[in-house]
Amino acid sequence: MEGLTLSEAEQRYYCDLFSYCDTESTKKVAPNGRVLELFRAAQLPSEVVLQIMELCGATRLGYFGRSQFYIALKLVAVAQSGLPLRVESLNTVKDLPLPRFVGPKNEQELRHTALYSSDADNSTPYSGVIPPPPGRVQVKKGSVSHDAVQQRTSTDQQESTSPVVSPQQSPPTSPHTWRKHNRHPSGGNNDRPLAGPGPFWAPFSEAQPGSSATGDPIWSGHSPPPHQENWVSFADTPPTSTLLAMHPASVQDQTTVRTVASATTANEIRRQSSSYDDPWKITDEQRQYYVNQFKTIQPDLNGFIPGSAAKEFFTKSKLPILELSHIWELSDFDKDGALTLDEFCAAFHLVVARKNGYDLPEKLPESLMPKLIDLEDTTEVGDQSGEIGYSSSPAEAPPSKSPSMPSLNQTWPELNQSSEQWETFSERSSSSQTLTQFDSNIAPADPDTAIVHPVPIRMTPSKIHMQEMELKRTGNDLANPTSPLLVKPPDLSEENNVSSSKFVAGNTVADGYSSSDSYTSDPEQIGSTVTRQRSHSGTSPENTAPPPPPPRPHPSHSRSSSLDMNRSFTVTPGQQQAGVVAYPPAVPPRPPPSQGVGPHVHRPVDAESLIAHTSTSPQQIPEQPNFADFSQFEAFAASSVNEEEENEIETHSEVLQVEKPSDSAGSLRVSKTDGRVEDKAAASVPVNAGKGTTPLAPPPKPIRRRLKSEDELRPEVEEHTQKTGVIAAVLASQPSIPRSVGKDKKAIQASIRRNKETNTVLARLNSELQQQLKDVLEERISLEVQLEQLRPFSHL
C-alpha cells in the first residue's frame, strides 16, 4: 500500500502492465477485464488473488488505481515467490522477482522481464517467424495479450481438434468451437484470422505435425526473446502469433475472455488481421490439398476449371448458393467464368473459411489474389512453410502457378502470338471480344500461332488491291500499274484544262473503261483498266470501286494501239482531216470503256454516260460533217445497243468516234490485233454507230470517273438514244479541242490513241453483237415458219 517502493524494473513493468490493463486510459483499472485476467494469469489460487485485491485496497475502492495496481502486482510477485501475503512484505521483500503471469501475461511478463531485467536478446525473433513490428509494443501489448487470451481460449476450446499450432502455421482450431466463439459478443469477429486457417485444415484432416512440432519446442522454450518478439510483433502480425503465444497457455475462462473481449480488441484483431491478410494466407498443406482437388477436376495445372464444374464442386460444400456466388465473385479474378489454379485455391480457401465461420470479405484478400508472375512452386512453397503466419509481407501470395490472372485481360492482346495463350484464350468465354481483335491483329501468316485465324479477306477490292491485281494481270510493260494511273490523271487534268475538260477526262476514263469493258466487270477490270491506261493513258486511278472486268490480255497494246491509233488516225484523216485534227484533242465526253462484256454494273453508268453524250451530241450534231457517217453506224449500233450493255463501249467510243471517222472505226478494227482489238473493233463500229451508247460495263470506277469528268453529259446518258448524241458530242468536242491543240498535242495524241483503241474494241464488240442479233433473228424467222407450218396441221 503506502510506501510502495518499486525498483526500476518493477516500476517500468508495473507501469506497462497498468497501461495494458488500463484499456480506457482512465487511470483506473476495474477488477474485471484485464486485471482479472492478469491475476489469473499469475497462476495464483483465487483466494490469494482475492487477498491481494483486498490488500491493495481495490476491494475497498472497487477499482484499481495505479497505486493499488502496483501494490497488487507486487503482491502477486510476493505470492508467486511463495511468500506470505502481507502488506509488510511489499517493501520488505527485496529483490522480488517480477510477478509472473502465465499465458499471455506470462509471455508479456517474461518479455518484460527480459526487457527490464536483462536486455536480453530481443533480437532473434521467434525463429524468424514473426518479424518484430516496428515499435508497437506498449499499447499493442495489451491488446495482444488480450487477443492472446482470447485466442487461447478459443484454442483451448479447440484443443481437441488440433494440436498446438505453431505460430508459423495458421492455428488449426476446430471450426465449430471457433464458430461458437465467434458468435460471442466478445467480438470474436469473423475476421479473427487466428482460427481461420486452422479450421480450414480440420475439415480436410490435414495433419500438422510440423506445426505442432515447431510450436511445442518454441512454446516450451518460453524463451523470452521469441515470445517477446511474438508479443511485440503480434500487434502487427496475424493472430497466428497470438495463438502461438496463447496456445500453450492454460485454459482460460471463456467467459472471461468474453468479458475481456472488447470492441477495441476485436477491432485491433480485425485490423491486425486485415492489415496483413494473413488469415487468408494459404498454408502449404492447404495449398497442396487444393492443388490435388484441382487436379481431380482438371488434370492440367495450367488449365481452367469451367464454371459448371466448379459450381458442382463447391456446391458439395453445402454452403448456401448466395455465399458460393459471392465466393465466386471474389475468386474469379479475371471474370472469365473459369477458375485457374490460383483462383481455385482462393475459392477453396474462402469456402473453408466460410465453413469455419469466417465471414466472407468484401474484397479478395491480397494473399488470395492470383499473381501474374509465374512463380516457382518450390520456392514459394519453401517460403510458405517458413513464413506461414508471418506478417512479414502483407502481400505474400501463395505461389501462383498459372500465368497471369488479373493481367490476362490486359495481356491478352499481347499474348496473341503465343500458342499457349491461344489455348487459354479459346477457353475463355470473354475472349470472344479479343478474338476479333486478334483477327485483325494477327498477320496472315503467323507461324507461331497454333491456332490459325482466318485472315479476313477483303471482298471489296481496295485500290491497292486492285492495283495489285492489275500488276499481276498486266504483266506487260506495265512496270508500275500505278504509274500509268498516275500518269493518266495528269494527262486528264491537262486535257481537262485544255479542252472541254470533260471530254478529255472522259477519254481517259473511257480508255480505262474500254480496257475493262472488254471483259466482264471484275475487280480486275481496274487492272485491265490500268493496263489500258498504259496504252491509253486512260483509266483514272480512282477506278477502285467496282471490280473491273478481267484484265485485258493486251496491255501491250499501248504501243500497238498507239500505232493503230496513228494508223487509224492516218486513215481517218482521209475522211476528216479537220476532224482528225480535232479528234485527238476531243476526248469523247465519257469514253465508256465499253469493252467490258456486259458488266452490269456499268450499265447504269453507261446509261449516264450515254446520257451525257446525248447531251453533248445535240449541241454538236450540226458541227461535224462526219455525222452522216456516224449516223450510219449509229443506226447500226442502235440495234446492237438494245441488246448489249456493251453499248457503253460505244459511249466510250464517243471519244473514239471523235477521233475516228466512221471509216476509221473499221480501220481501227482491222488494225486491232489483240483481244483488245476485238473489243475495239466492236467498239469502233458500235462506237460509230452508237456513240451515245452507254458505256459498256466498264468498271464502275472508270465509269464513275467518266461520269465525274463529264458531269454535264452524264445526266442524260442513255444507251440507246445516246449514240447519236454521243456522236454529236464527240463531234462537238472536236472543234473545241483544237483550241488547245497546240498546248497539249502529246496529251491529245495520247488520248487519241486511247480513243482509237477503244473504238476498235467497241467496234468489234458491236460487230459481234450484230452477228448475234442476226442469228437470233434468223432463228426467230425459222421458228415462225415452223409455227406457220404447224398451224395448218393443228387445224386439221
Partner 1 sequence: MAVCVAVIAKENYPLYIRSIPTENELKFHYTVHTSLDVVDEKISAMGKALVDQRELYLGLLYPTEDYKVYGYVTNSKVKFVMVVDSSNTALRDNEIRSMFRKLHNSYTDVMCNPFYNPGDCIHSRAFDNMVTSMMMQVC
SS3 of the chain: helix, strand, coil, percent, to 5: 65, 0, 35
What separation in angstroms does the CA of 166 have from each of 122, 138, 398? 20, 24, 19
In degrees rounded to 5, what are phi and psi of residue 419? Answer: -70, -40
CB 241 within 8 A of CB 234: yes
184 vs 326, beta carbon nearer partner 1: 326
Q: From the CB of 204, what's the least distance to partner 1, in Å?
A: 22
Q: From the CB of 353, what's the least distance to partner 1, in Å?
A: 16
Q: Does residue 436 bind partner 1 (CB under 8 A)?
A: no
Q: Does residue 326 bind partner 1 (CB under 8 A)?
A: yes
Angle between helices 263-276 and 239-246 (to 10 degrees): 120
Task: Quote the CA–CA distance of 730 and 727 in Å, as a whole number.
Answer: 5
Q: From the CB of 360, what's the least distance to partner 1, in Å?
A: 9
Q: Could you give the 3-state DSSP secondary structure of residue 352?
A: helix
Segment interacting with partner 1 (CB under 8 A) among 199-207, 322-330, 393-401, 502-510:
322-330
Q: From the CB of 350, what's the least distance to partner 1, in Å?
A: 13
Task: Identify the CA nearest to 721 among candidates 783, 606, 618, 638.
Answer: 638
Segment interacting with partner 1 (CB under 8 A) among 110-118, 286-294, 333-341, 375-383:
333-341
Q: Does residue 337 bind partner 1 (CB under 8 A)?
A: yes
Q: Does residue 324 bind partner 1 (CB under 8 A)?
A: yes
305 vs 466, beta carbon nearer partner 1: 305
User: Residues 40, 46, 50, 53: what is their CA dihedral angle, to the nearest 10 degrees?
Assistant: -20
Q: Does residue 659 bind partner 1 (CB under 8 A)?
A: no
| Residue of 92, 325, 432, 772 interacting with partner 1 (CB under 8 A) | 325
User: Residues 124, 130, 132, 134: what is their CA dihedral angle, to the nearest 10 degrees?
Assistant: 160
Segment interacting with partner 1 (CB under 8 A) among 245-253, 334-342, 641-649, 717-725:
334-342
Q: From the CB of 355, what's the least distance to partner 1, in Å?
A: 16
Q: From the CB of 513, what's the least distance to partner 1, in Å?
A: 36
Q: From the CB of 337, what's the least distance to partner 1, in Å?
A: 4
250 vs 429, beta carbon nearer partner 1: 429
208 vs 331, beta carbon nearer partner 1: 331
Binding mask 612-651 for partner 1 (x = CB under 8 A): ----------------------------------------
Q: From the CB of 327, what's the least distance to partner 1, in Å?
A: 8
DSSP 675-714: HHHHHHHHHHHHHHHTTTSPPPS--HHHHHHHHHHTTTTG
| Residue of 222, 335, 774, 791 interacting with partner 1 (CB under 8 A) | 335
Q: Could you give the 3-state DSSP secondary structure of residue 382?
A: helix
What separation in angstroms does the CA of 405 have from each of 186, 337, 376? 39, 12, 16
Segment interacting with partner 1 (CB under 8 A) among 329-337, 520-528, 638-646, 747-755:
329-337
CB 163 within 8 A of CB 208: yes
Q: Does residue 406 bind partner 1 (CB under 8 A)?
A: no
32 vs 308, beta carbon nearer partner 1: 308
Q: Does residue 343 bind partner 1 (CB under 8 A)?
A: no
308 vs 437, beta carbon nearer partner 1: 308
Q: From the CB of 409, what's the least distance to partner 1, in Å?
A: 12
Scanning 158-283, the segments in alpha helix (DSSP H) are 175-183, 197-204, 209-221, 224-234, 239-246, 254-260, 263-276
CB 328 within 8 A of CB 343: no
| Residue of 91, 411, 430, 642 interacting with partner 1 (CB under 8 A) | 430
Scanning 518-556, the segments in alpha helix (DSSP H) are 523-536
Sign of the C-alpha dihedral computed for residues 463, 465, 470 and 471 taken in this order:
positive
Sign of the C-alpha dihedral computed for residues 610, 611, 615 and 618 taken in this order:
positive
Say how many CA atoms lie within 13 Å of 677 toward its Cβ: 18
Burial of 451 (0-12, 13-18, 19+ CB in 10 A): middle
Q: Does residue 322 bind partner 1 (CB under 8 A)?
A: yes
Task: Quote the CA–CA distance of 598 and 605 in Å, as a whole number.
Answer: 12
Beta bridge partners of 761: 680
Say how many CA atoms lie within 13 Å of 595 toward its Cβ: 46
Q: Does residue 332 bind partner 1 (CB under 8 A)?
A: yes
Question: Which residues neighbour 619 within 8 Å (Cβ) at sequence distance 6 or greater?
Answer: 728, 729, 732
Q: From the CB of 465, what's the least distance to partner 1, in Å?
A: 27
Residues in the chain, how many?
796
Q: Does residue 328 bind partner 1 (CB under 8 A)?
A: yes
Segment interacting with partner 1 (CB under 8 A) among 327-335, 372-380, 666-674, 695-703:
327-335
Q: Does residue 2 bind partner 1 (CB under 8 A)?
A: no
Segment interacting with partner 1 (CB under 8 A) among 326-334, 402-410, 546-554, 777-785:
326-334
Beta bridge partners of 680: 761, 762
Write out the binding residues for partner 1, residues 282-321 only, by CB under 8 A: 307-308, 310-311, 314, 321
Task: Identify the CA nearest to 540 among candidates 608, 491, 580, 607.
Answer: 491
Q: Does residue 329 bind partner 1 (CB under 8 A)?
A: yes
Q: From the CB of 333, what's the least distance to partner 1, in Å?
A: 11
Q: Does residue 121 bind partner 1 (CB under 8 A)?
A: no
359 vs 477, beta carbon nearer partner 1: 359
Q: From the CB of 194, what's the least distance to partner 1, in Å?
A: 25
Q: From the CB of 425, what's the least distance to partner 1, in Å?
A: 16
DSSP 330-346: HH-TT-SSEE-HHHHHH
364 vs 713, beta carbon nearer partner 1: 364
Output the furthest CA–CA distance in the chain (Å, rounded).
159
337 vs 573, beta carbon nearer partner 1: 337
| Residue of 336, 387, 511, 716 interacting with partner 1 (CB under 8 A) | 336
User: Number of residues in contact with partner 1, rule: CB under 8 A?
Assistant: 19
340 vs 653, beta carbon nearer partner 1: 340
Q: Are strands 305-306 and 64-65 parallel, antiparallel or unpaired?
A: unpaired
Q: Which residues of 271-299 are buried (b: 16+ CB within 10 A; e: fewer)?
A: ebbbebbbbbbbbbbbbebbbebbeebbe
Q: From the CB of 143, what's the least distance to partner 1, in Å?
A: 30
Write out the binding residues for partner 1, residues 356-375 only, by CB under 8 A: 362
Q: From the CB of 414, what's the least distance to partner 1, in Å?
A: 22
Q: Which triple of cell numbers denotes residue 252? A: 482460460
258 vs 326, beta carbon nearer partner 1: 326
419 vs 430, beta carbon nearer partner 1: 430
- The residues that touch partner 1, with contacts defined as CB under 8 A, are 307-308, 310-311, 314, 321-322, 324-326, 328-329, 332, 335-337, 362, 429-430
